[in-house]
Amino acid sequence: MTGRIAPEMMRQHLRMYLVLGSVNCIAEPEWVVQEAMVGGATMVQFREKGRAALTGEPRIQLARRIRNLCRQAGVPFIVNDDVGLALKLNADGVHIGQDDESAASVRERIGKRILGVSAHTIEEARRAIHHGADYIGVGPIYPTVSKEDAKPVQGPGLLRAMRAAGIDMPIVGIGGITAEKAEEVVGAGADGVAVISAVTAAGSVRDAAASIRAKADVI
């Protein structure tokens, strides 16, 4: 790749974005990733957070194994928050929140890799674009059990408001999204849906990913 990712390509990768860490998984995270990709996951984010999260070498090893699975499947592998880990593993990109290192400084460090930034307001979205984000994650759209410090629920209205305000960059909705809700999120203007529990806690990971993907594909 010679330049930064084209927005149209980014939109495709965002269609069904699996976010996970070992804490989110009942089964082995590697198996969850594999099954979700068979079901149709289009991008994967390694987000090893929470009280029982792995640290040190086991965390790095898990990230590396997930990266390898993503590579084999041709699915972009994104690391949450940790730029050092992303560079060490030569990940395809990094996702950061508003409290992490500034987007402009992360952009400098990661070069042309994918940069995703969480945004909860139109103002934050504009700043993220200005600082070099390739996509923004907007949420929580619905109530979530997967993020302890989640902001107040925004509803799909925030997506509509962002599009109405002229924000045309790639957007993924996140927070409490299920197969039943995916269509509404995409209908409100998101290019795709980012999910944790609807896939990681599903009886059939593969079927859950497939049904979310099918709903997110209907634009």
Please report, as ranges, the residues that interact with ligand 3NM according to CB under 6 A.
19, 118, 137, 139-140, 144, 146-147, 150-151, 174-177, 195-198
- Is 88 annotated as belonging to a binding site? no
Q: How far apart are CA 20 and CA 107, in angstroms?
A: 23
- Is 49 annotated as belonging to a binding site? yes
- Is 146 annotated as belonging to a binding site? yes
Q: By C-beta, is 57 or 149 nearer to ligand 3NM? A: 149
Q: How far apart are CA 156 and CA 48, in angstroms?
A: 27
- Is 197 annotated as belonging to a binding site? yes
Non-local CB neighbours of 174 within 8 Å, separated by 6+ positions: 19, 118, 137, 138, 139, 140, 141, 144, 193, 194, 195
Q: Please, what is the minimum distance in Å from the beta carbon of residue 148 to ligand 3NM?
A: 10
Q: Which residue has the tokens 């984010």?
A: 45
Catalytic residues: 47, 118, 147
Q: Please, what is the minimum distance in Å from the beta carbon of residue 10 to ligand 3NM?
A: 18
> Which residue number has the CB closest to ligand 3NM?
139
* Residue 3 near residue 112, CB atoms below 8 Å: yes
Q: By C-beta, is 101 or 108 nearer to ligand 3NM? A: 101
Roughly what angle, to the nearest 10 degrees, separates helices 205-217 and 29-39?
Answer: 40
Sign of CA dihedral 75, 76, 82, 86: positive
Q: Please, what is the minimum distance in Å from the beta carbon of residue 3 to ligand 3NM?
A: 28
Supply angle C-alpha 44, 114, 43, rounded to 5: 20
Q: Please, what is the minimum distance in Å from the beta carbon of residue 79 to ligand 3NM?
A: 13
Q: By C-beta, is 147 or 213 nearer to ligand 3NM? A: 147
Q: How far apart are CA 176 and CA 45, in angstroms?
A: 16
Binding residues are: 45-49, 80-81, 100, 118, 144-147, 176, 196-197
Binding residues for Mg(2+) are: 81, 100
